[in-house]
Chains A and B, each alone.
Chain A
Amino acid sequence: MSSVESKTASQPSALAEFWYYFSRNKGAVIGLAVFLLVLFVAIFAPFVAPHSASEQYRDMLLLPPAWMEGGNFSFLLGTDAVGRDIFSRLIYGARFSLFIGLIVVTLSVISGVLIGLVAGYFRGRVDTVIMRVMDIILAFPSLLLALVLVAVLGPGLVNAMIAISLVNLPHFVRLTRAAVMTERAKDYVIASKVAGAGTMRLMLLTILPNCLAPLIVQATLAFSAAILDAAALGFLGMGAQPPTPEWGTMLAEAREFIQRAWWVVTFPGLAILVTVLSINLMGDGLRDALDPKLKRS
């Protein structure tokens, strides 16, 4: 620890400075720890999970969690209506959730940033058209629009991801556009132009890197929103289809057992809650660390 501090004193590297501000937010550090745990579990699912996600133990239907009467320590969180181990399904489900988050964020960040960059840089009619389309998307309740899109495209995980990306798109477009508009008028951009830089160079190499901080924060928040939306679509039967161990789909399958087997609904719900919460906390910490306006001293 002391060696790290002496290094930052002589030459404060960007990473050290980032970690200094990030680590002052305790919630963010806890969020990061939980997220890393989920990530680890998802990557090493076949080694961590005690059972397969789809194997049905026909003689142990709706087994309660291990610590309750009638529980079995081989099935830590109990089994579902067809005898599959809930704990193992949750672990495999983490893979789907993180995968959904990653794909959705990648899709909407890349397309949103490019569209926002064009709108903010060229202004004029291009800007008006793009922003009105984004306003229309924003005017729909996000889940409803996603539902309609999935209904058109057909249910399934891939289509659900495309739909959620589209629903998330306007936030990135607006954020990028606003940032580009403030940066575009600055002297260093004009100086680059006077030196002969072309449109592409100005947009992608000069302006874009200076707009990234708010986008990184929005991306983490969109990550959790995507997980939540995918779970909601799964619950409504429009997302991942059974027997995929996706958390929302697991909730949907368990709906009819809420009264007599609480653990079948509780644990997938808790998994969603904890993951989304940890990512949101992490996003808040990122904002604290990356937003220059929130930096003290």
Chain B
Amino acid sequence: MTPVLEARDLTRDYHIPGSFFKKARTVHAVKGVSFAVEQGKTLAIVGESGCGKSTLARIVTMIDPATSGDMLIDGQKVDIARETLTSDMRRKVQIVFQNPYGTLNPRKKIGDILTEPLIINTKIGADERRDRAMAMLKKVGLEEKHYGRYPHMFSGGQRQRVAIARALMLNPRLLVLDEPVSALDLSVQAQVLNLLADLQDEFQLTYVFISHDLSVVRYIADDVMVMYYGEAVEYGSREEVFSNPQHSYTKTLFAATPRADVESIKARLARKNAA
């Protein structure tokens, strides 16, 4: 079976032009990353701020081109630097952003936000569009009465649900989730993650889930890739990576996760008393 998304040796360089005082230099944001995601699976990309996670997300969603390397979606090669994207290709990958407050157009009603992708990409009539948007609204746990409201009337979790609904309107193959829950509080995080898991089962969706929260990753991921300064330092199934981390950065990352179970608290207290 061909994977939904396959990346071979993707790199992305940013050229910073020089000025009178500084020499021009090149920043390597992503340095040769390869991975593949099968249909219905979730790949989690983990790493600290500035390690190239979001750059990778922009490459995968075809917002920015890769400097070199190949990206295949459903076995088809995509290169937006050389050729313009067909609308069929566009529809296959959609994205959900981190910040729920910037992700929805403040001047548009929820209904207009949800139907816009259909207006752009399809020739469906207005009634049909409305029906589909309503159905999607209910699927993500909102109600019909929310259809005519503006984004500022919603909470962060609700907005993120709308953003997910908008991404799903075009029946994409691949959904890129760029830290979709890190701006939400814990109970809402759990609700949105459960929603994402349900939707994945229902539509056989493939996720690329970008996060820095390991507990979230442990819950949702099938495969995990750890990035460090633009390189993939660890890549494997969730069990492998979590039980037997190879790279020193991965070990540091796991050690940095706060532990609140009784055993570790007792151990900490024992260490403190001993000292």
Binding site for B on A (CB under 8 A): 186-188, 190-198, 201, 206, 209-210
B163 near A191 with CB under 8 A, answer yes
Q: Check if B87 is an interface residue, CB within 8 A of chain A.
A: yes
Q: Check if B272 is an interface residue, CB within 8 A of chain A.
A: no
What is the CA–CA distance of A114 and B129 in the complex, to the nearest angstrom? 31
Whether A188 touches B103, Cβ cut-off 8 Å, given contacts A194-B63, A195-B120, A196-B87, is yes
Give the shortest distance, in Å, between A182 (CB) and chain B (any CB). 11
9 sampled A-B residue pairs with Cβ under 8 A: A191-B166, A193-B63, A194-B61, A194-B62, A195-B94, A195-B117, A195-B120, A195-B121, A196-B117
B95's partner among A191, A196, A197, A201 (CB-CB below 8 A) is A191
Q: Check if B90 is an interface residue, CB within 8 A of chain A.
A: yes
B163 near A196 with CB under 8 A, answer no
B90 near A190 with CB under 8 A, answer no
Give the shortest distance, in Å, between A26 (CB) and chain B (any CB). 28
Whether A197 touches B106, Cβ cut-off 8 Å, given contacts A187-B97, A190-B63, A191-B163, is no
Q: Check if B205 is an interface residue, CB within 8 A of chain A.
A: no
Whether A192 touches B63, Cβ cut-off 8 Å, given contacts A187-B97, A187-B99, A201-B120, is no
Q: Check if B107 is an interface residue, CB within 8 A of chain A.
A: yes
What is the CA–CA distance of A198 and B120 in the complex, to the nearest angstrom? 9
Whether A191 touches B93, Cβ cut-off 8 Å, given contacts A196-B87, A196-B121, A197-B116, is no
List residues of chain B with CB within 8 A of the CB of A188. 102-106
Q: Check if B91 is an interface residue, CB within 8 A of chain A.
A: yes
Whether A195 touches B107, Cβ cut-off 8 Å, given contacts A187-B97, A187-B102, is no
Q: Check if B170 is an interface residue, CB within 8 A of chain A.
A: yes
A188, closest chain B residue (CB): B105
What is the CA–CA distance of A195 and B116 in the complex, to the nearest angstrom? 8
Whether A194 touches B116, Cβ cut-off 8 Å, given contacts A187-B102, A210-B105, is no
A187 near B103 with CB under 8 A, answer yes
B103 near A191 with CB under 8 A, answer yes
A186, closest chain B residue (CB): B102
- Per-position 1/0 for B158-182, Cβ under 8 A of A: 0000010011001000000000000
A189, closest chain B residue (CB): B105
What is the CA–CA distance of A262 and B167 in the complex, to the nearest angstrom? 71
Binding site for A on B (CB under 8 A): 61-63, 87, 90-91, 93-95, 97, 99, 102-107, 116-117, 120-121, 163, 166-167, 170
B102 near A197 with CB under 8 A, answer no
List residues of chain A with CB within 8 A of the CB of B105. 188, 192, 206, 210
What is the CA–CA distance of A197 and B167 in the complex, to the nearest angstrom? 14
A194's partner among B90, B102, B106, B107 (CB-CB below 8 A) is B90
List residues of chain A with CB within 8 A of the CB of B107. 209-210
A195's partner among B97, B106, B170 (CB-CB below 8 A) is B170
What is the CA–CA distance of A206 and B94 in the complex, to the nearest angstrom? 18
List residues of chain A with CB within 8 A of the CB of B94. 194-195
Q: Which among A191, A193, A201, A206 has the greatest number of chain B C-beta atoms within 10 A? A: A191
Give the shortest distance, in Å, between B77 (CB) and chain A (any CB). 19
Give the shortest distance, in Å, between B275 (CB) and chain A (any CB). 47
List residues of chain A with CB within 8 A of the CB of B97. 187, 190-191
Give the shortest distance, in Å, between A180 (CB) and chain B (any CB). 14
What is the CA–CA distance of A8 and B151 in the complex, to the nearest angstrom? 18
Known: A192-B105, A194-B93. 17 other contacts (CB 8 A): A187-B97, A187-B102, A188-B102, A191-B95, A191-B97, A192-B116, A193-B63, A194-B61, A194-B90, A194-B95, A195-B90, A195-B94, A197-B120, A209-B107, A210-B105, A210-B106, A210-B107
B112, closest chain A residue (CB): A205
Give the shortest distance, in Å, between B184 (CB) and chain A (any CB). 15
What is the CA–CA distance of A191 and B116 in the complex, to the nearest angstrom? 11
List residues of chain A with CB within 8 A of the CB of B63. 190, 193-194
List residues of chain A with CB within 8 A of the CB of B93. 194
A14, closest chain B residue (CB): B150
List residues of chain A with CB within 8 A of the CB of B166. 191, 195
What is the CA–CA distance of A206 and B117 in the complex, to the nearest angstrom? 13
What is the CA–CA distance of A197 and B63 in the complex, to the nearest angstrom? 12
What is the CA–CA distance of A195 and B90 in the complex, to the nearest angstrom? 7
Give the shortest distance, in Å, between B129 (CB) and chain A (any CB). 13
